[in-house]
Amino acid sequence: MEVSFTDELTSKVDGKGRVSIPAPHRAVLVGGDPACDDGKNPNLVLIHSKSHEPCLRIFTVAAYDKLRQEVLDMPYGPERNKKSRKLISKATPLMVDDNGRVILRKDLRERFGIDGAAIFVGSADHLQIWDPDTYEEFYDDDDGEDPFIGLGQVRPAAMA
């Protein structure tokens, strides 16, 4: 079974921008870094391109390599240039330190409103980093919509 990013976990962000990546998420990063021999200090790639969601995105080294290859496989032209600007030029390689932390640059913290705390949101193939208040405003989990609808699967009676 492939390990993926799950859950919503909050960590403090100190004045220097250091934030601890939650242990379950670090384990996924370790598994996605072929060069991580010690299992302790994985590399990752932080993408700070704004999209439809105002958050930072973390990819494992392996997942980012796949994403980068998809851009490289595109034919030369305006679409490839746009993807490159949004996904390659906005990518920052980072290494998790001995305390399980990374440093979020000041300009990125300001741009995404991350101050004092960050919520790490698992999104299967990547990890999102949000300002907790922005995340709460952006996603109202109590919207009454059943998240299982549209998945093409029948829900077991025990879950209903």
In tens digits, the chain (160 residues) has pLDDT values of 456 899 999 999 999 999 999 999 999 999 999 998 877 899 999 999 878 889 999 999 999 999 999 999 999 999 999 999 999 999 999 999 999 999 999 999 999 999 999 999 999 899 999 999 999 988 876 677 777 777 875 556 555 4
DSSP-derived secondary structure letter, 55: S
Contacts 24+ apart (CB under 8 A), 68-71: none
- Please report which helix (H) or strand (E) contains residue 42, including its range: none
Structure pTM?
A: 0.85
Q: Please tell me the predicted confidence (pLDDT) of residue 139.
A: 82
What does the pLDDT read at residue 2?
Answer: 56
Residue 104 has a pLDDT of 97
- Domains in the chain (CATH in brackets) are 8-159 (3.40.1550.20)
**Consecutive H or E run containing 69:** helix 61-72
Q: Considering all CA atoms of the chain, what is the largest pairwise distance in Å, rounded to the nearest integer? A: 51
102 close to 94: Cβ distance less than 8 angstroms = yes
DSSP letter assigned to residue 159: G
The residue assigned the tokens 């829900």 is 155
pLDDT of residue 1: 40
CA angle at 90 for the pair 26 and 95, rounded to the nearest 5°? 30
Measure the CA–CA gap between 90 and 70, rounded to whole angstroms. Answer: 16
